[in-house]
């Protein structure tokens, strides 16, 4: 079969690869849509969290051999460690992700655990279905905003920032999203969101969907006393903060990673309700060029979704 393979640091290639191996308790699905994640556009530059050779892709949906339309929850948890027993599978001590720690959706077919498959309604378009996973991240991040929340700021109008903002707006919050790109501000506005170059004023909670020192600092500076900064972006590892102001103003900072099974279920529901029309389909045969162009900043599509060559919609 054909697949987009992360072959060495900085390189992805469209290659012929062996068919996926059928494992116990698993099903081989035909991939119908697999979204490229920002974490992959950064992560493929080095061999760290993801080790080549690897077929990436953790945001995907497909068809089972008996014709069931399914979306995959790529988070694999053990079910019996302390975190799993607290229903925090996202913190499982042996947490793994399909498409990160084993082959994922950037291929014609992939083997997935039966427990990871969730049936989706016929009304949900394939491209939209692949956004279930980022939406589940947004549902989780929104669950960490803290108490007495009305005004929510989002830093970064990339795919994760946009889904976080759409979920916050869906919850009835007063939402503002910022991005340095005017093109992305326009996309946010077209979705009915208030958007600007920088967040302006004071917020009850701010989600940083970028992860640069400047955005992390802004997320903490922009919240009221007792407010919460939720960090979901992962651009760089270190940041300098004014720690004493965090003490004096009882500010909260929390990371947000992945989601619970319930939150993934909520995301399937939300995928049918929110405006997720800001994606671009890319055929698998052209995915290497598209991936490298996105990673190099030469193409500005907000979210690319790899689809089978036969399934490309104009």
**Residues contributing to the site for Zn ion (CB under 5 A):** 37, 77-78, 81, 84, 92
CB 121 within 8 A of CB 265: no
CB of 80 to Zn ion, least distance (A): 6
CB of 160 to Zn ion, least distance (A): 8
Integer Cα distance of 204 and 148 in angstroms: 7
Work out the number of other CB atoms within 10 angstroms of the CB of residue 115: 12
Work out the number of other CB atoms within 10 angstroms of the CB of residue 253: 15
Residue closer to Zn ion by CB (options 39, 217) is: 39
Characterise 109 by phi-psi region: left (phi > 0), alpha (psi -120 to 50), beta (else). Answer: beta
Integer Cα distance of 53 and 276 in angstroms: 32
CB 195 within 8 A of CB 179: yes
CB of 100 to Zn ion, least distance (A): 9
What's the token pair of residue 149? 């929340």
Residue closer to Zn ion by CB (options 77, 127) is: 77
CB 168 within 8 A of CB 175: yes
Residue closer to Zn ion by CB (options 42, 252) is: 42
What's the token pair of residue 27? 């099903």
CB of 312 to Zn ion, least distance (A): 22
CB of 304 to Zn ion, least distance (A): 12
Residue closer to Zn ion by CB (options 85, 225) is: 85
CB 252 within 8 A of CB 144: no
Residue closer to Zn ion by CB (options 163, 191) is: 163
CB of 38 to Zn ion, least distance (A): 7
Residue closer to Zn ion by CB (options 199, 267) is: 267
The secondary element (H helix, E strand) that includes residue 246 is helix 243-248
């Amino acid at each position: 079969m054909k697949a987009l393979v992360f072959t060495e640091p900085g390189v992805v290639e469209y290659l012929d690869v062996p068919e996926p191996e059928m494992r116990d308790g698993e099903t081989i699905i035909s991939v119908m849509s697999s979204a490229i994640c920002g974490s992959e556009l950064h992560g493929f530059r080095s061999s760290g969290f993801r080790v080549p050779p690897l077929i990436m892709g953790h945001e995907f949906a497909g068809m089972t051999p008996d014709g069931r339309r399914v979306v995959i929850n790529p988070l694999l948890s053990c079910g019996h460690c302390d975190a799993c027993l607290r229903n925090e599978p996202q913190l499982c001590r042996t947490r793994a992700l399909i498409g990160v720690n084993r082959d994922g959706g950037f291929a014609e077919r992939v083997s997935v655990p039966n427990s990871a498959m969730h049936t989706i309604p016929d009304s949900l378009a394939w491209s939209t279905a692949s956004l279930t996973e980022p939406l589940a991240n947004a549902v989780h991040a929104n669950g960490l905003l803290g108490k007495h929340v009305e005004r929510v700021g989002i830093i970064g109008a990339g795919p994760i920032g946009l889904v976080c903002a759409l979920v916050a707006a869906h919850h009835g919050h007063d939402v503002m999203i910022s991005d340095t790109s005017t093109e992305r501000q326009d996309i946010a506005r077209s979705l009915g969101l208030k958007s600007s170059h920088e967040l302006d004023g004071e917020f009850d909670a701010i989600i940083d969907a970028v992860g640069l020192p400047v955005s992390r600092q802004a997320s903490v500076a922009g919240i009221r006393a007792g407010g919460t900064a939720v960090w979901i972006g992962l651009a760089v590892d270190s940041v300098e903060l004014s720690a004493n102001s965090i003490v004096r103003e009882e500010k909260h900072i929390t990371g947000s990673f992945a989601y619970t099974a319930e939150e993934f279920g909520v995301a399937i529901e939300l995928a049918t309700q929110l405006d997720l029309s800001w994606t671009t389909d890319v055929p698998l045969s052209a995915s290497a060029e598209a991936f490298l162009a996105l990673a190099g900043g030469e193409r500005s599509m907000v979210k690319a979704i790899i689809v089978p060559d036969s399934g490309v919609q104009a």
